Amino acid sequence: MKPCDRNIKSTLKLTDFMIKLASRGDAEREDVGCGILYGIMLDSAYKIKKIAEKERDAHIKKGW
Task: Kindly give, in sequence order, each residue whose CB lies less than 8 Å from that of residue 57, ignoring residues fewer than 6 positions away.
Answer: none
Residue ranges covered by each domain of the chain: 3-62
CA distance 27 to 12: 23
The list of the chain residues with pLDDT below 70 reads none
Q: Are 60 and 9 in contact (CB under 8 A)?
A: no
What is the model's pTM? Answer: 0.90
- The Cα 56–Cα 47 span in angstroms is 14
pLDDT of 1 = 86
Q: What pLDDT does 14 receive?
A: 98
pLDDT of residue 21: 98
